[in-house]
Every structure is written in C-alpha cells, then in structure tokens.
Structure 1
C-alpha cells in the first residue's frame, strides 16, 4: 500500500473482476474506495474459490483495502443513495467505477445531473452494450483455437481472465488521466471500456490481426512452442520439466555453452546454410531440427546439475512447479515484502499482497484487509452524505441499508 492517491474518493458499484480490479489498484495507491453492494451481497459475493466456511476468497482478494456499504438497490430510495454516493461533492470526489449498464439508474446522464464534473469509468462486455465476459470475448478472438496441443482440434480455454485484468488496469489508468484533465479544465466525462475493444486492440498491438489479415488465416496451435522464437519445455534426466527461452543472441549463445551444443548446432547450420546466432526467427523455423538436439542434452543432465550451470552462465530458464511449491519460492511469495499475513473477514489469516509496484523512495504501508459486507455503511452515510444519526437509523429500520 502507498499513499500517492491519498485524499481521492472513488466509489465502486461493480461485480466480478475488471471493475473491482480497477478500484483495487486505486485503493492500493492510497485512494479511499467505497464499494456499494446489495444487502446480502452482489453476484460475486459467493464466487469460488471458497474457504471451508463458505466465505469467498475471490471476494476478499479483490476488495481488500476498500470500504463497504450495503444498500437495497431494488428500491428507489436505495438507488438514490447509490447515485448520491457516486456524485458526492468534494474536489477529489466524483470518481465512479462501475460495470452497471450504460442505461439505467447509474447512467452517466443521470449522475451528471447531480454532479456535472463527474468522472465515470464504465466496464462493458461488448462495445454495443451486449453482454460479454472474458471467456466469451476470448472465444470470439480465436485464441482458444491457437492454444493447446498441435494434434488436438478442441479449443482450449486458459485459466487466467486476462482481458478482465488488462481492462481493470486500463480503467485505473483512464480514471487518473481523466482526473488530471478535470484539474486543468473542470470537465467531467464518461470513459467506456468494453472488454471486446481492449482485447481487439491488444490483438492488433501484438501483430495478431495484421498477421491473420495478410496470411488469410490465423496462427496454428503449436503446443508449448514460443511463436517466432526458440522456447519450449524440456525434460531432465531426473524427470523434471524446465522452460528454456532463447530470444536474444546472448541467451542463445549461453544456452548452447551450458548444454554443450555448439558443435552440433554449428554442423546443423552448415547443413542448412543458415546462422542461428542473430536470427531468432530462424531458430523458430528450424525448431523441428533443433529440438531433438536440446532434448538429448537435457536428458543427459539432472536438475541439480543444470540449475547452477544455467544460473552461472546467464541462461534464461525456469522450473515448472505447482502453485503449492511456488508459495515457498522467495522470489514470488515466501519472504516477499509485497505480502503480509492478514486476518480477513472470513476469519482466516493468509498472505495478502499490497501494491505490486515497489517505490524505493516511499515506505510501503501495511496491507488492509477486505471489509465485512456493509461494515462502513453508517460511516459512509454520515461522513460522505452527511446524514444524521436519526436518518441513518430510519434507513436501517426500513431495510434500505444494512
């Protein structure tokens, strides 16, 4: 946690991954994030993975460091409270993150009537407003047909919600950009961020779309091969699986040195009339001839023999390991100052990350747990909306808030 955004008040009305991720990043940089949910929880309040007691580890992970207010959003008075929160006064307020539909009670036109300089970042599925989620957008892009074994035609869904996460990060950047513009001009604005557009733009930025357009077909699946370069998984003599990557000339040269393959590769270069030293594309083109040489070299060595030699030689490599082993990896989790053991509302204590970025000039602040659902209802109503204690009590009695 850092305090670069200290003083900002961001209101979140959202569920699932992208919009909550946006607000999470803002909270980890010091913004006060107030999340409103339906009484009893929204559609993501019980999402898996679950703890043994039924608490959602997913919800705790995406909402740490935020404040929570519970409102009956099915009732007009509850919806009015949500609107007033999103548009509450203050120079550093009027910042709203949502994935509610473009139209409806949280539309920009409705909220802008309450605050003209409101900044609203709205996560969408498709740009036309139709419903779409990470996995359906990904399927439409053709990526599941590019992923998986070369000899199996079935589509392969990856387990990481990449478009959700990328959209969440892009929305955080967009909100801060719009806030800087508001400081200069006083103008508010709505930023619509469809997953489909983030995904399509990314495919174009990485050259996927131009490649397909020019060749007339999308890239074929090729298992674990790294497209356009030399990289793949290899098995050691003791049955361990390692990832080897050689993109730069230095990486390639170091790998050949440690594996003792310079002579064999030189002979192959002479046969083919090519030089692999400076052209990663050639290594990819002729990978079917190169891989057997590397497979044999790996099969002659154990992990214990290869690891120190790779590290000393500057080879780019990694061990395939399950997450339970990664938890003991000091470069990732164990001992990493990014993580702290934090008691969460579930009653469980486990490692929780703060802001992923490290700022050497600033002190890393303690990680804040996720809130209990509705934990800050009275505080937010009193401090942000300036309601009296009697009015807050009336709302509780009427079941409008909890």
Structure 2
C-alpha cells in the first residue's frame, strides 16, 4: 500500500449511492462502499433523521455508532411519507448507480418505488435491499433487527456456556455481517453491470450471512441428527482451544486447532510427552478428554504473567493472543499502524475508528472527516443532481417534503 489516506480516488470513484437505509445494516454497506471511493448520499427524515442519531453512548451530543457508520457521507432531508418526497427519490434514483434500502419488504412498492419503476428510468441501477427475512419466503413481511437474526439463525443457541441461556452479543453482530454481505453483493452487481449494461436487485436477509457462518451445525444435524450445543470458549471441534487467565489476572486465548500446533503447545508447556499420551495424542482423543486437558492448559497459563506466557507461546509458534479491551487495542502498535484511522472534523474531538476491512496495494484508503447534520447537503445535492432552482426548493420546503431549514440558498 502506498501513499497517504485520501491521496487518490478509490476503485469505486465515480459510483454514486443513494442510501435509504437506517440504523445499522444498510448504513454499514454504505460505509463499506464509501470506504473505497463511492459517493454516498444518505436520505433522512428531515425532522428526526436516522434513529441511529439517538443511540447511546453519545459524546458532545453525537452518537458514536452513527458517527462510525456515517462519517464522510452526505445527508439530504426528504420526507418519504409525502408524495413530493417520494418523487424526489425516484428522480434521484434515475441519476445514481446504487440505491441501498432497508425497509420492510413491499414498502418501496407501496410507495411506487419498486425495482421495476426505478429501473424503467435507470436500467443500470443496482437496488440493494436489506431486510430481516429477505424479499421472498413465508417470513418476508416480518420485521427484523439484529437480535432477531442472531436468534433465528441459530447463533444465540450455540453461543454461551452449557449452563447459561442462549446469548446474543452486545453489539450489532448480525447487522454488521449483513452490511458487509450487502456491500459485496452490490459490488458484484456493479461488476456484472460493467459487462452487460444492466443493473440488478440484491436481496440480503439479516439472518442469512450469519447462518452461513454457522453452517456446520446444519450439516451436523442433517447428517447425524445431532444438535450442536453451547460449549463456552471451546470450538466443539478441536482441542485445546479457549480463553485462559494468567497469574496477573489478564486473559489470553490459545487456539491449538491443528495437530502440529497442539504438539508445539505441549512442548511450550514443558510436557512434550502429551503428544504420545493416548488421551491427548490425537484431536478425537483430546476432545474426549477435553475438560482434563483444559484444566492442564489453564493451570500452566495461570503460573505466570500474561506477557511471559504469550512470549513463550510465540517462541513456539503457538496461535495465541491477548484478550484485548479497547485501551489495549488503541495502544497496540500493530493496530495503530494498520487498522485504526482518525475520525476528524466532528464534535467528538480527536478519535480513532477501525478503517476499511479490506486492504488494496493500490489504494491507501479514504480520509474520515465530518459527520453530516440532518439534511446538511439537501440544497447542493438536489441542485446538482436534479437541477432544482431556489424557487423549487423553497416550494418543497414549504410542503415539508424536504428539510426546510436546509433549503436556503446563499
């Protein structure tokens, strides 16, 4: 990778995205596309904006989650409940490459903004749709958030300890994976368009990418009738694997999930004879005696401070890492060099966020500057894309179809 962030256009430069999505999954897809150079124009309710602006935690009045997903986007305030607002969106869709939406299936069609209508004006349009259960199937009309996807997909059932209830994560897990998948689907459709000239409809259900990741549990059941249960920090497929506490109270993970790594771990522990022990010589044997082996590994880790244990494991090429909290991540030189980027020009002050999840040798990445206010770019965007005059903007503002306080032309 060469150059400084923001020093060159990204591979999606020239692509314009109209983001109708709110909250998490669709805005995550918009963030991914923006990361690689697309112009992302976010449509928000002119009065309240995206509900994610109300999320906690907040700092200096700005929701941290909203800032992370929407930095660098433009915001236009359009009321989709009004015919004038829906007409604006239809006209905008005729002039962009991608429309991202996360309404319940059928809502766009009720508004006269279905794929057939939008592509009649713009045959090359990619319409990316993120919903709880997808655009087809018996559950298509059901509402869905990430928590529902995490339970419906089977994730929550398998997450946690055997004696604990099914557990969902305390962050937007399913939404984030669906957003990444939606971005991938969008770029795939854009690539196909470059060959055929025609757009496509991309259909992402919140639960499906997560169910794909959990696919082995489906295979297990359909092949043997066995239902995968909660196993805590183990994998249920290889041993030893887990999270262990060192003598100084800090935690670390070890993943000896292959035969060679398990043998190197035994050597690091000073117990190379475990490799010949019938209880631990093979992975099936280790799984059968997993509790005993976990106690032995835990006792060994617990004898010394974490840094010493990790140094010993690294010397023996055992897969291991500290259990990092946010401070550990921010202070780590690897993450500072490769992963974390500065979010500038906001009420948050000098802060860091994770940057693009994919690295290209030819593209150093974008700058992360500014979080748009509700409808901040209404006037310039509608003027540029639709050629609206000050009088037309004022008329729209008078009907409350657009943000009235954002339509004053200097």
1:339 aligns with 2:341: yes
User: Contact (CA 8 Å) 1:255, 1:315: kept in 2 or not?
Assistant: yes
1:11 aligns with 2:18: yes
Q: For each residue in 1:304-328, what CA deviation from the matched residue of structure 2 results, as whole angstroms up to 9, or x when unmatched?
A: 4323222222221122232233222
- Aligned twin of 2:225: 216
Q: Summarize the Cα distance change of 1:64–1:144 in structure 2 as closer, same or farther, 3 Å threshold.
A: same
- Matched residue SS, 2:43: strand
- Aligned twin of 1:147: 159
- Choose which of 231, 244, 257 in structure 2 pairs with 1:247: 257
2: CA distance between counterparts of 1:352 and 1:181? Answer: 32
| CA displacement at 1:221 relative to structure 2 | 1.1
| CA displacement at 1:96 relative to structure 2 | 0.8
- Aligned twin of 1:258: 268
Q: Summarize the Cα distance change of 1:172–1:321 in structure 2 as closer, same or farther, 3 Å threshold.
A: closer
2: CA distance between counterparts of 1:229 and 1:108? Answer: 46
2: CA distance between counterparts of 1:6 and 1:161? Answer: 28
2: CA distance between counterparts of 1:284 and 1:11? Answer: 50
- Aligned twin of 2:407: none
- Aligned twin of 1:104: 110
- C-alpha RMSD of the superposition: 2.3
- Aligned twin of 2:82: 75
- Aligned twin of 1:291: 294
- Choose which of 169, 192, 196 in structure 1 pairs with 2:203: 192
| CA displacement at 1:10 relative to structure 2 | 1.0
| CA displacement at 1:24 relative to structure 2 | 0.9
The number of equivalent residue pairs is 386
2: CA distance between counterparts of 1:76 and 1:56? Answer: 31
- Aligned twin of 2:406: none
Q: Summarize the Cα distance change of 1:298–1:94 in structure 2 as closer, same or farther, 3 Å threshold.
A: closer
Q: For each residue in 1:16-57, what CA deviation from the matched residue of structure 2 results, as whole angstroms up to 9, or x when unmatched?
A: 211111111111100111111111234524342232443211
1: CA distance between counterparts of 2:117 and 2:142? Answer: 21
| CA displacement at 1:375 relative to structure 2 | 1.4
User: Contact (CA 8 Å) 1:225, 1:232: kept in 2 or not?
Assistant: yes
1: CA distance between counterparts of 2:354 and 2:194? Answer: 31
- Aligned twin of 1:358: 359
Q: For each residue in 1:288-313, what CA deviation from the matched residue of structure 2 results, as whole angstroms up to 9, or x when unmatched?
A: 23123223322332324323222222
Structural mapping, 1:2-401, within 5 Å: 3-88=10-95, 93-100=96-103, 101-102=105-106, 103-105=109-111, 106-127=113-134, 128-152=140-164, 154-204=165-215, 207-230=216-239, 231-263=241-273, 265-266=274-275, 268-269=277-278, 272=279, 275-276=281-282, 280-332=283-335, 334-336=336-338, 338-344=340-346, 346=347, 348-401=349-402
User: Contact (CA 8 Å) 1:10, 1:34: kept in 2 or not?
Assistant: yes
- Matched residue SS, 1:181: helix
| CA displacement at 1:13 relative to structure 2 | 0.4
User: Contact (CA 8 Å) 1:339, 1:352: kept in 2 or not?
Assistant: yes
Give structure 1 stretches of 5+ with no counterpart: none
Q: For each residue in 1:163-191, what CA deviation from the matched residue of structure 2 results, as whole angstroms up to 9, or x when unmatched?
A: 22222112112112222222322223222
Give structure 2 stretches of 5+ with no counterpart: 1-5, 135-139, 404-410
Q: Summarize the Cα distance change of 1:268–1:327 in structure 2 as closer, same or farther, 3 Å threshold.
A: same
2: CA distance between counterparts of 1:323 and 1:252? Answer: 30
Give the TM-score normalised by structure 1.
Answer: 0.88
2: CA distance between counterparts of 1:174 and 1:302? Answer: 45
